[in-house]
Structure 1
Amino acid sequence: MDLSTGLGLAFGIVVLCTLILMGGDLGMFLDVHAFIVIFGGATAATLIRFPLSSLFHGFPLGMRFAFTMRRWTSRELVEEIANLAEIARKQGPIGLEKAEVEDTFLAKGMRYVADGYDADFIRNNLERDMDNFCVHLDEGQKIYRAVGDCAPAFGMVGTLIGMVQMFANMTDPSKLGPFMATALLATLYGALLANLLCLPIADKLHGKLLDEETNRTLIIDGILMIRDSKSPALVREMLLAYLPEKHRHEEGEPVPA
């Protein structure tokens, strides 16, 4: 689980509730009209921007990966693949069937090697799998970014509606307060939806997309080297090229000048 996403949201909610309760109560900040303007408007705009199939994939997939996706570092993957290369060298490809591999993409590649598939088949299937995964992850970040972009705009729409209603009822002072509250709360809801939820999740998904592209390319190259019976030391050395220079050495190992 990605703790930073949950911790960030929880901390943001605590800060907001603290500020609200210091000067009133939560009921003052609840308004059905403002809620309809923001969430209804943002939903309508997102439906216009994206096909329905993308929304069905993008929303749940984006939320799931923002909160639960296990992030493997490239260094961890290099060591895992080198260990698998050691198993293949000692026990042959059949030994890979018994190896416990946590990463599902790497495990899939190991099954292909153990089953004796040729290199072209392994590369084509894994690259297709990687492309499909990255496309869905990219869809998710684009959808959340689109909602984050349009939510403040609909907050302004809600504010304008509230202002029009307020000015249209200047003769009735009892209606001025509710209409002004709707006007201000619509802007507040739009800003919170965009800046506390949608845009941060979109940025997190974009970062994970870049990480996954690098890690899965590294995995494919490592699997093909194991398939070609390369030595574990050579596998490790070649895969370390994916890492920045400062991360290519074990902790405590001197870094070449």
Structure 2
Amino acid sequence: MDKLSIAGLTIAILAVYIGFSLDGGHLSALFELPAFIIVFGGTLGAVMLQSSMVQFTHAISLLKWVFYPPKYDIEQGISEIVIWATKAREKGYLALEDTALEIEDSYTQKGLNLLVDGIELENFRVALELDLDIYREHNLRSANVYEAMGGYSPTIGILGAVLGLIHAMSNLTEPALLGQGIATAFIATIYGVGFANLFYLPIANKIRAIVHEQTMYREMICEGLVSIAHGENPHAIENKLSAFRLEQ
């Protein structure tokens, strides 16, 4: 579990609540169902309209990364690559066949299988880099879904404010209904800006950061496997990959 994400979300919500309370506000005043439906539903619908089904559902599936991000140990990865290089040098590439079956990461498993299958060297790096580029682009597009929500939400909040004011103006002779319309107007604006800056945009940036971390790890795997394919010395491979330690 990512404790930093939990702490950040908690601090953000508490800061808004405490600041509002110190100014004499009541928490119940921030809950307005019509405003929530307008802002959240409108934002969700707009994003669904612009996204493909595959991209939208994938973006939803990546939401868990905010609190349970996948972990990649650069140091352990380098050690494993050195072991693979030593084994390949002593026993040949076929000795890595069992290793490939034990690997959980699909990218690493694919690279080892290509190595075992004896793919031509000039095609080996191309295959790994193509797979990496597609994976990175697919996940970054999912991050863009949340960024789009962060863009639509404030605007739809303004839409909710205008709708609330229209409702209020139609009830000028009834103070109770007038107050409800004005409340919806202001709360809709708060929802629009708050959802965007406390949830949607931070989620988008968090996913991008995780994708960057994944990409760096897989670039290290790619470089290591290509070095093994070229028959480089395990010690030389370790020295080459040591540069990736700076990314930890």
Q: Same fold (TM over 0.5)?
A: yes
Task: State yes or no: 1:6 paired with 2:6.
Answer: yes
Equivalent in the alignment of 1:33:
34
Determine helix, strand or coil for the equivalent of 1:68.
Answer: coil
Give how far 1:144 is off.
0.5
Within-5 A mapping of 1:223-242: 223-242=225-244
Structure 1 residues 2 and 103: alpha-carbon distance in aligned structure 2, compared to 1, 3 A threshold? farther
Q: Separation in 1 of the partners of 2:45 and 2:202?
A: 21
Contact 1:59 1:144 in 2 (8 A): no
**Aligned match of 1:205 in 197, 204, 207?**
207
* Greater displacement, 103-112 / 226-235: 103-112
Q: Separation in 2 of the partners of 1:106 and 1:67?
A: 24
Q: Separation in 1 of the partners of 2:81 and 2:165?
A: 62
Structure 1, residues 179-203: CA drift from partner, whole Å, max 9, x if none?
1221121112112211111101111
Q: Separation in 2 of the partners of 1:138 and 1:95?
A: 36
Determine helix, strand or coil for the equivalent of 2:119.
Answer: coil
Q: Separation in 1 of the partners of 2:57 and 2:225?
A: 33
Q: Separation in 2 of the partners of 1:26 and 1:174?
A: 20
Give how far 1:171 is off.
1.3
Q: Separation in 2 of the partners of 1:32 and 1:178?
A: 11
TM superposition outliers: structure 1 runs of 4+ over 6 Å = none
Give how far 1:35 is off.
1.1
Q: Separation in 2 of the partners of 1:152 and 1:188?
A: 8
Q: Separation in 1 of the partners of 2:222 and 2:123?
A: 12
Within-5 A mapping of 1:18-97: 26-61=27-62, 63-72=63-72, 74-97=74-97
Paired amino acid for 2:215: E
Structure 1 residues 21 and 104: alpha-carbon distance in aligned structure 2, compared to 1, 3 A threshold? farther
Give how far 1:157 is off.
1.4
Give how far 1:119 is off.
2.7
Contact 1:58 1:136 in 2 (8 A): no
* Greater displacement, 115-124 / 134-143: 115-124
Equivalent in the alignment of 2:124:
122
Taking structure 2 as the reference length, what is the TM-score of the superposition?
Answer: 0.83
Structure 1, residues 206-236: CA drift from partner, whole Å, max 9, x if none?
2233333333222212111112221111111
Report the count of equivalent residues.
Answer: 245
Structure 1 residues 34 and 119: alpha-carbon distance in aligned structure 2, compared to 1, 3 A threshold? same
Equivalent in the alignment of 1:153:
155
Give how far 1:169 is off.
1.6
Equivalent in the alignment of 1:255:
none
Paired amino acid for 1:42: T
Structure 1, unmatched stretches of 5+, are: 249-257
Give how far 1:74 is off.
4.5
Equivalent in the alignment of 2:175:
173
Q: Separation in 2 of the partners of 1:152 and 1:235?
A: 50
Q: Separation in 2 of the partners of 1:14 and 1:108?
A: 46
Q: Separation in 1 of the partners of 2:194 and 2:155?
A: 12
Structure 1 residues 98 and 14: alpha-carbon distance in aligned structure 2, compared to 1, 3 A threshold? farther
Structure 2, unmatched stretches of 5+, are: none
Give how far 1:151 is off.
0.5
Q: Separation in 2 of the partners of 1:118 and 1:14?
A: 58
Paired amino acid for 1:77: G
Cα RMSD after superposing both structures: 2.9
